[in-house]
Structure 1
Amino acid sequence: MTTHAESPSPSPSAAIEISPLGGDADAHAFRALNEAWITTLFALEPDDERVLADPRGQIVDRGGAVLLARDGDRVVGCVALIPEGDGMWELAKMAVDESVRGRGTGRRLLLAALDEARRRGAGAVVLGSSVDLPAAVHLYESVGFRHVRPEEVGHMPYARASVFMRHDLGGTPGA
């Protein structure tokens, strides 16, 4: 998998690198990052609890991927790709630590996830977001996601999902 390094960084810390989920510490960071953003505006739902308790078993071992953004040895962001069948993948559980927001980390994660989906043969990536997350929705739009009807993304188990988007893949990775 391609490692995406972010530079220049406005902080004196090491460049942001994107890599796959590793051991228990990574799984804990994935959970903590997601709990932080979800509980700020919403409540954790049963599907959140299930996935966050075991990202390796619920995502990776089922053919999906969890990518982490690292600033040195600290995990500062994450995103998951979940296969939905028929060439469609769900982009889920994207989070960036508040301390590094606004530095391009979310964009790096999103582009790395789209590259990974292409590498795995995905034809489309779908997601559910919320009108209460305008910066996230704008980021998705900026890389080519378009708004679609809920039924076009398949089953979306989260009550907070009020924005549904799809990105039809094609072209070259990183585009």
Structure 2
Amino acid sequence: MEFYNKVGKMALGSRLRRLSEKLTEQAAEVYGMYGIDMNPKWFPVFYALAEGEDKSIMQIAQEISHSHPSVSTIVKEMVKHGIAQEVPNKADARKNYIRLTDKGREINSRIQVQYADVNAAVETALNETQYNIWKAIEEWEFLLEQKSLFNRVKDEKKARESADVRVVDYTPKYQPAFKRLNEEWITKHFKMEETDYKSLDHPDDYILSKGGHIFIALYNGEPVGTCALIKMDNNMYELAKMAVSPTAKGKGIGFILGQACIAKAKELGADKLYLESNTILKPAINLYHKLGFKKITGAPSPYERCNIQMTLDI
């Protein structure tokens, strides 16, 4: 127990596996006490077949929530021990169904008293505990169905790394990074256009001097993302030149930059934000929706790669 106390809750899976192994070992002793010749790991499959209906391996796997390969292995072991047998499927001769043999049905008849005693013993044990593990397992199964452990850890990782992201105002020293980050994603999916070169090579002339703004996202002091606000007419700004380095994906940098731009647009007195994108950039489109942008049909874009326009009322 010292190991689990030291490691803590991140060893939950290992500790549950240890408990499962202990219960399986003790279950084998119980089967022996009742003279039942059966491996404890066969029980779910055996129980599924005990109703008397022929079932396919896929049906059994779905019923007991096991994988197809796992059920297939157990069935082979049960067949080898004479407890189960394969029978032709009348509807499709190419497929076999599984049923209990005479030996299996005889075991099912004798095992009923064991079921009653085991159920009573487990109920007694549950009543002796402060926390009902059966209900707790049901809760955990529900929680993990709603959101997997992988996604939960992924979110924690993202939150931790996002806390180390710092958004700063553009200065001339960031011009190479501003161009590199944008050129990186544009050339991956499309081709650089004349307007790209103008804004990326001369951001002071094309964006800043016209009332716009540029943000740079730093992670551990390195520029890994950028986004710009370009002044348009009628108190409207364009959200443009958003780019995040592939090496910094999954840290929420795009969302952080988007929020910074929205806050800056409000500060500059904007009524609306506008953007242009392409629907093949699914992560980007999802991000814009998350930020509150909605699709519109606007004026023709100067960019060949643009096939969607969106706006956000501020």
Question: Secondary structure of the residue that 1:8 maps to in structure 2?
Answer: helix
CA distance in 2: counterparts of 1:162 and 1:150, whole angstroms: 11
- On the 8 A contact 1:89/1:126 being kept in 2, the answer is yes
Residue 172 of structure 1: aligned partner: none
CA distance in 2: counterparts of 1:59 and 1:98, whole angstroms: 25
CA distance in 2: counterparts of 1:7 and 1:123, whole angstroms: 31
Unaligned 5+ runs, structure 2: 1-157
CA distance in 2: counterparts of 1:38 and 1:118, whole angstroms: 28
Q: Deviations over 1:17-63 (max 9, x none)?
A: 0011012x301100000000000010000000111111122111111
Greater strand proportion: 1
- On the 8 A contact 2:159/2:251 being kept in 1, the answer is no
Q: 2:292 aligns with which of 144, 151, 155?
A: 144
In the superposition, the TM-score normalised over structure 1's length comes to 0.86
Residue 54 of structure 1: aligned partner: 202
Q: Deviations over 1:76-133 (max 9, x none)?
A: 0000001101011100000001011111000000000000000000000000000110
Residue 8 of structure 1: aligned partner: 160
Q: 1:19 aligns with which of 151, 168, 177?
A: 168
Tell me whether 1:159 sits opposite 2:304 in the alignment. Answer: yes
Residue 117 of structure 1: aligned partner: 265
Q: Which amino acid aligns with 1:20?
A: D
CA distance in 1: counterparts of 2:229 and 2:245, whole angstroms: 19
Report deviation, 1:71.
Answer: 1.2
Question: Secondary structure of the residue that 2:232 maps to in structure 1?
Answer: strand
Report deviation, 1:156.
Answer: 2.6
| Cα RMSD after superposing both structures | 1.5
Greater helix proportion: 2
| Matched residue count | 157
Bigger relative CO (Cα 8 Å, ≥ 6 apart): 1
Residue 91 of structure 1: aligned partner: 239
Q: 1:75 aligns with which of 209, 223, 227?
A: 223
- On the 8 A contact 1:7/1:16 being kept in 2, the answer is no
Greater C-alpha radius of gyration: 2
Query: In percent, how many aligned pairs have the same letter?
Result: 33
Report deviation, 1:157.
Answer: 1.1
Report deviation, 1:72.
Answer: 2.8
Question: Secondary structure of the residue that 1:118 maps to in structure 2?
Answer: helix
CA distance in 2: counterparts of 1:102 and 1:8, whole angstroms: 11
